[in-house]
Amino acid sequence: MEKEKILEVKDLNKYFGQKQVLKDVSFEIREGEILGFIGPNGAGKTTTIKLILGLQSISSGEVKINNYNIVTDFEQAIQKVGAIVENPDLYMYLTGRKNLQLIANMYKGVTKERLEEVIKISGLDNRIDDKVSKYSLGMRQRLGIAAAIINKPNILILDEPTNGLDPEGIKELRDLLKKLAKEEHMGILISSHNLAELESFCTDVCIIKNGEIITTTSIKNFKKSDKSYYIIELDQTKGLDKLLKKDDEIINDNQIRVLREKEQLASLVKELVQKDYKIYEVKLIEMTLEEAFLKQAGGNIID
């Protein structure tokens, strides 16, 4: 059964005066999906997010959240949305709990049980009664997300949430978002200019450049290719230069890295054996999201 569509962005255009900053931007998110919205700084990520949230006017096109149009049915559309654009707004001199209580007061029917639930989900149980000024950047980010989901939204929108986080903070954020997608059945839109950080937890990827969408697909499909990288371990690598192609490399005295289709790999292995090389291991190396991107786009536009 197909999952429910939560967010639908269709042919979105945005002009600032005569300058067009978004050109026919379209993508969608279904429940349980984490969409990595990737592009260099200035590509149009934050502008797209602001249009989705009704924070800026749409020049043309349409945004629907839970089947409600963000322009004509704003209140219904925004009702089940949690978002952090740029940095979470927190009162540094108050405790984490006090911050969440203030947010809870803005909504109808947020129970004490829900408050405790989001504290637990965010993993801040042990530090929730400390002042936010004592929190690490990663903890503040998680508190911001706890505040954003307090009213049980089914879509969470985060603009560059990994900025400034150390590896531990990124891991904690990643684990939290995967948990929200799986256990709370949320659709999550997360923008970033860093491919490597999103690879381990996004289900889908949408790449934007100069206000235009280049590709939208699942991470699995994006990384899929006719050719794959293989590491071949041999008794020696002397004299191999003639057998290697442009994208291949000799790693050390006993290993080579080759880019081949399966049939081509079989032919290479056969040729190596015929030339009396001893082969100890052939290992498939999964392409990183960045490698797949560079391979498909033919150049790095994310920097």
What is the mean predicted confidence (pLDDT) over 125-143?
A: 93
The whole-number pLDDT of residue 155 equals 96
For the chain, give the percent of residues with pLDDT over 70: 93
The whole-number pLDDT of residue 163 equals 82
Closest CA to 216 of 2, 8, 4, 6: 8
Question: Of the ranges 19-28, 219-228, 291-300, which one carries the lowest mean pLDDT score?
Answer: 291-300
Chain-centre distance for alpha carbon 196: 9
> At residue 159, does pLDDT exceed 60?
yes
The whole-number pLDDT of residue 227 equals 66
The whole-number pLDDT of residue 224 equals 67
| Model confidence pLDDT, tens digit, residues 56-99 | 999 999 999 999 999 999 999 999 999 988 777 899 999 999 99
pLDDT band at 297 (very low <50, low <70, confident <90, very high): low
Under DSSP, the state recorded for 51 is: H
Strands 255-260 and 249-250: antiparallel
Q: Domains in the chain and their CATH numbers?
A: 5-223 (3.40.50.300), 228-286 (3.30.70)
For the chain, give the percent of residues with pLDDT over 90: 55
The whole-number pLDDT of residue 81 equals 94
Q: Of 35-39, 40-44, 298-302, which one has max mean pLDDT?
A: 35-39
pLDDT band at 296 (very low <50, low <70, confident <90, very high): low
| Model confidence pLDDT, tens digit, residues 3-38 | 889 999 999 999 999 999 999 999 999 999 999 998
Round the average pLDDT of the chain to a whole number and report it: 88
Helix spans in the chain (H): 45-52, 74-78, 96-104, 112-121, 137-148, 167-183, 195-199, 219-223, 262-274, 289-297
Q: How far apart are CA 157 and CA 146, in angstroms?
A: 13
Q: How far apart are the first and last CA of the chain?
A: 39
The whole-number pLDDT of residue 27 equals 96
> At residue 226, does pLDDT exceed 70?
no
